[in-house]
Amino acid sequence: MRRHDAHTALRVIAALALALVVLQALAATAGAAAVDPTARRSVVLGRSVDGRPIVAIETGDFDASRHALVVGCIHGNEPAGIAIADALARDLPPHELDLWIVPVLNPDGVAADTRGNAHGVDLNRNFPYRWRPLGGVYDSGAHPLSEPESRIARRLITRLDPQVSIWFHQHLDVVDESGGDVAVERRFASLSGLRLARLPREPGSVVAWQDHRAPKSTAFVVELPAGALPAASVTRFARAVLEVAAGSPGD
Radius of gyration of the chain (CA): 24
Which residue(s) pair with 68 in the sheet?
99, 164
Q: What's the distance, Cα to Cα, between the start and end of the chain in Å?
A: 61
Q: Is the pLDDT of residue 248 over 60?
A: yes
Q: pLDDT band for 17, please (50, 70, 90 cuts).
A: very low
In whole angstroms, give the CA distance from residue 193 to residue 236.
Answer: 9
Residue type, 100: W
How big is the CA angle at 154 (ends 151 and 159), to the nearest 5 degrees? 130
Evaluate whether 236 touches 206 at the Cβ level (below 8 Å): no
* CATH code of the region 38-246: 3.40.630.10
Residue pLDDT, tens place only, 120-171: 999 999 999 999 999 999 999 999 999 999 999 999 999 999 999 999 999 9
Q: What is the pLDDT of residue 11?
A: 56
* Comparison of pLDDT for 124 and 32, the residue scoring more: 124
Q: Is the pLDDT of residue 5 over 80?
A: no
pLDDT (average), residues 212-221: 96
- Which among 44, 45, 67 is positioned nearest to 166, based on CA atoms? 67
Which residue(s) pair with 165 in the sheet?
69, 219
The mean of the pLDDT values for the chain is: 90
Q: What is the pLDDT of residue 70?
A: 98
The domain ranges of the chain are 1-34, 38-246
Q: What is the DSSP letter of 192?
A: H
Q: Is the pLDDT of residue 61 over 50?
A: yes
Indicate the pTM of the whole model. Answer: 0.86
Residue pLDDT, tens place only, 166-197: 999 999 999 999 999 999 999 999 999 999 99
